[in-house]
């Protein structure tokens, strides 16, 4: 007897690595993807909601509804990352404009209604962008916290520092107040920070192996990643770039590939110098109650084997 697919919501701001996370999840029978909620982040909301639908059409999964959510952070002005992802957010391949419709409901309303209708501790949420939609849903209806099985997010950094400021990683920095709400909510949390994602870089051999696959998904993915990884390779002087967001999906499939610790995490929301810093009490210096499973390292070979296997499932 096989387990029923895990109900999953992906909250995203595509972004090439977001696109790969979506493709991995949509190719995995282990998940029932209930919907995709989009948020402003890597590029503005007008582009992220289009990009999510482009990826669904690329995957042949127009059955998965896509919702547009918050167009700006809760308190601060929006910061985007076109210098990393290009003007469209999915620079690299030439993906056609989507024909599937954007759902008319606001993502936050859909999140609240969907979670309130679910059994307790039943729905997993993977946010791979700023946490605005998730925080707004928790503020609007705090009772949804009991419905969430876990939140597995990509964001933050501690020993590795930040990639947007010396202290802060992009997803948390863009909306630190939303991150503070989520980290203070009491929902089961797992954080995949830069410390973990920077420990698992794309290799030339892996890219070549994927490039040898003659499908539309493989060709588009390689084009996306060749554009995307140049930024980190230039910044860090590495031979390959990290693939941040798919790590959340792989964590749900293969948690054994991740070295983690359960500890207390707080988000800085007062100091401009360290705004958006994830203060990870790795050594239990404060004695504060742990609230988050934090990944530090990933088995790179295992990670990219899972991602490659999922991407190769697409037939066309």
Q: Which residues contact 77 (CB under 8 A, 6 or more apart)?
A: none
Exposure letters 141-176 (e unless 16+ CB within 10 A, then b): beebbebbbbbbbbbbbbebebbbbebbbbbbbbbb
DSSP state of 302: H
Residue 160: alpha-carbon gap to chain centroid: 18
**Contact criterion met (CB below 8 Å) for 51 and 90:** yes
Q: Is 244 known to be catalytic?
A: yes
- List the one residue out of 85, 76, 64 whose CA is nearest residue 13: 85
Cβ within 8 Å of residue 113, ≥6 positions away:
none
Which helix or strand (DSSP H or E) is residue 179 part of? helix 176-183
Choice among 85, 198, 244, 264 that is catalytic: 244
Other C-beta atoms closer than 10 Å to the C-beta of 75 total: 11
Residues with catalytic function: 244
């Amino acid at each position: 007897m096989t387990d029923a697919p895990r109900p999953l919501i992906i909250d995203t701001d595509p972004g090439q690595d977001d696109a790969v996370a979506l493709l991995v999840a949509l190719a995995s029978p282990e998940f029932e993807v209930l919907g995709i909620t989009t948020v402003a982040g890597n590029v503005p909301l007008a582009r992220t909601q289009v990009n999510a639908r482009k990826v669904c059409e690329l995957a042949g999964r127009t059955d998965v509804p896509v919702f547009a959510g918050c167009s700006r952070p809760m308190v601060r002005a929006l910061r985007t990352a076109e210098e990393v992802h290009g003007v469209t957010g999915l620079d690299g391949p030439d993906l056609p404009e989507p024909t599937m419709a954007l759902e008319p409901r606001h993502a936050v309303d859909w999140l609240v209604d969907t979670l309130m209708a679910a059994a307790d501790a039943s729905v997993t949420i993977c946010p791979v962008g700023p946490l605005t939609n998730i925080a707004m849903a928790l503020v609007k209806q705090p009772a949804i916290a009991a419905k969430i099985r876990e939140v597995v997010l990509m964001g933050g950094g501690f020993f590795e520092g930040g990639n947007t400021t010396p202290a802060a990683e992009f997803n948390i920095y863009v909306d630190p107040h939303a991150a503070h709400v989520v980290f203070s909510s009491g929902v089961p949390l797992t954080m995949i920070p830069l410390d973990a994602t920077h420990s698992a870089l794309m290799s030339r051999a892996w890219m070549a192996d994927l490039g040898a696959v003659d499908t539309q998904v493989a060709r588009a993915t390689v084009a996306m990643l060749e554009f995307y990884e140049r930024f980190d390779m230039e910044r860090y002087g590495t031979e390959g770039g990290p693939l941040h967001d798919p790590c959340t999906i792989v964590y749900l499939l293969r948690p054994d590939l991740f070295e983690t610790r359960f500890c207390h995490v707080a988000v800085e929301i007062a100091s401009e110098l360290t705004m958006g810093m994830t203060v990870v009490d790795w050594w239990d210096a404060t004695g504060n109650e742990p609230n988050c499973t934090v990944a530090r390292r990933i088995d790179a070979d295992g990670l990219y084997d899972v991602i490659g296997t999922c991407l190769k499932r697409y037939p066309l």
